[in-house]
Amino acid sequence: MVEAGGSNPPGPIGDGMKATAKANANIALIKYWGKRDEALILPYNSSISMTCDAMETITTVEFSENYDTDTAIINDEELSSDQKRVYDHIGMIRKMAGIKEKAKIVSESNFPLAAGLASSASGFAALTVAAVAAAGLKLPEKELSIIARQGSGSACRSILGGFVEWKKGSKSSDSYAEQIAGKDYWKDFRMIATIVKEGRKAISSRSGMSQTVKNSPYYSGWLSSIEEDLNRMREAIRSRDFASAGSIAEYNALKMHCTMMTSKPPIMYWKPATVEIMNAVMAWREDLESYFTMDAGPNVKVMCMKKDEKELCQRLSELEGVVKTISCAPGSGAALSQKHLFD
């Protein structure tokens, strides 16, 4: 039986206006690409993802009258005041809670940021859950998903574990994520993030999306074919049909990148090692069933079953240009933690 959504996160743990949350990244099997509302981050199409257990962000938020301004430190680097997304997000939550105290935010991720590995998804999911709890609010997963979405669209999916669908909705209140199947429903599914470049990508996902929607002649084809991809992926997950899930995800990713490459100017996230991995996976498929997917970045995610995980990681690590691999099973949704990142 497909597992239902998880329990509601509890309120702040022990420290009044301070809370810490952990959230995993998620990798889309059916991609979200393009916003119909930039301000509210409402997508043109629904999407489906797997929450990944080995890629995690931990965030501590404290509201206090002792702080004169909001500050955010991410992986030991303080954000400047013009990096508005984080500060706007904390301001939105502060307004919801009816409090005035400024916030200190400290966040750490165990995988490269802004490299096409969904760091903003885990980052804004962890920030949302921690800030909501620190502000004294107790909200259900649906509301947390709606709030997280307004920081980074894909963050709404990281609120939940396992296999998740972000429903595009018709307005802000019905654009949120729901679980298709829990993390234990398909335990043998693996997503191997294959890192070829750890630095920040030259073109952000937001900029790439906006440019593609405006002028790719193939964007209409992307939208007209997405419902079939979604329907087929839901069925593949529910029936645990790996060949179908992998092939659908691979084709969906290639379609998305085709819209980027045909925008003006063209957007090409791929590096030589990216192409090398794609070609290798297709060649290995004769004896080692695996498929690839990519987000807006050069790093390839390779899907396989647990029985092939060790062999596939070994083969991938031997390819020229591969820096490292991170193998992920279906992971848990965002949750509060008792261990803070600062005193």
**Does residue 127 share a domain with residue 98?**
yes
Query: 338 in a domain, yes or no?
Result: no
Query: 292 in a domain, yes or no?
Result: yes
Q: What is the CATH number of the domain that holds 115?
A: 3.30.230.10
Query: 333 in a domain, yes or no?
Result: no
**Does residue 140 share a domain with residue 221?**
no
Q: Are residues 68 and 59 in contact, defined by beta-carbon separation less than 8 angstroms? A: no
Q: At which of 185, 202, 228 does a domain end?
A: 185
Q: At which of 162, 185, 208 does a domain end?
A: 185
**Does residue 163 share a domain with residue 43?**
yes
**Does residue 175 share a domain with residue 101?**
yes
**Does residue 273 share a domain with residue 208?**
yes
What local confidence, expressed as pLDDT, does residue 229 receive? 98
Q: Are residues 58 and 158 in contact, defined by beta-carbon separation less than 8 angstroms? A: no
Query: 6 in a domain, yes or no?
Result: no
Query: 28 in a domain, yes or no?
Result: yes
For the segment 240-283, what is each residue's pLDDT rounded down to a tens digit?
999 999 999 999 999 999 999 999 999 999 999 999 999 999 99
Q: What is the CATH number of the domain that holds 216?
A: 3.30.70.890
**Does residue 118 share a domain with residue 67?**
yes
What residues have CB less than 8 Å from 201, skipping those under 6 apart?
114, 115, 116, 269, 296, 297, 298
Q: At which of 185, 220, 241 does a domain end?
A: 185
The pTM of the full predicted model, rounded to 2 decimals, is: 0.92
**Does residue 142 share a domain with residue 89?**
yes
- Ranges of residues in the chain with a pLDDT under 50 are 1-14
What local confidence, expressed as pLDDT, does residue 7 receive? 41
b/e 35-44 (16+ beta carbons within 10 angstroms → b): beeeeebbbb
Q: Which residues pair with 20 in a beta bridge?
A: 60, 337
**Does residue 237 share a domain with residue 220?**
yes
Total structural domains within the chain: 2
For the segment 194-239, what is each residue's pLDDT rounded down to a tens digit?
999 766 667 788 888 999 999 999 999 999 999 999 999 999 999 9
> For the chain, what is the HEC assignment?
CCCCCCCCCCCCCCCCCEEEEEEEEEEEEECCCCEEECCCCEECCCEEEEEEEEEEEEEEEEEECCCCCCEEEECCEECCCCCHHHHHHHHHHHHHHCCCCEEEEEEEECCCCCCCCCHHHHHHHHHHHHHHHHCCCCCCHHHHHHHHHCCCCCHHHHCCCCEEEECCCCCHHHCCEEEEECCCCCCCEEEEEEECCCCCCCCCHHHHHHHHHHHCCCHHHHHHHHHHHHHHHHHHHHCCCHHHHHHHHHHHHHHHHHHHHCCCCCCCCCCHHHHHHHHHHHHHCCCCCCEEEECCCCCEEEEEEHHHHHHHHHHHHCCCCCCEEEEECECCCCEEECCCCCC
**Does residue 300 share a domain with residue 195?**
yes
Query: 245 in a domain, yes or no?
Result: yes
**Does residue 225 share a domain with residue 155?**
no
Query: 342 in a domain, yes or no?
Result: no
Q: Are residues 104 and 67 in contact, defined by beta-carbon separation less than 8 angstroms? A: yes
287 φ, ψ (degrees, to nearest 5): -125, -5
Query: How far apart are the C-alpha atoms of 133 and 120, rounded to whole Å?
Result: 20
**Does residue 301 share a domain with residue 195?**
yes
What local confidence, expressed as pLDDT, does residue 310 receive? 97
Query: 336 in a domain, yes or no?
Result: no
In terms of residue numbers, what domain contains 41? 18-185
What local confidence, expressed as pLDDT, does residue 206 receive? 82
Q: Are residues 126 and 89 in contact, defined by beta-carbon separation less than 8 angstroms? A: no
**Does residue 202 share a domain with residue 102?**
no
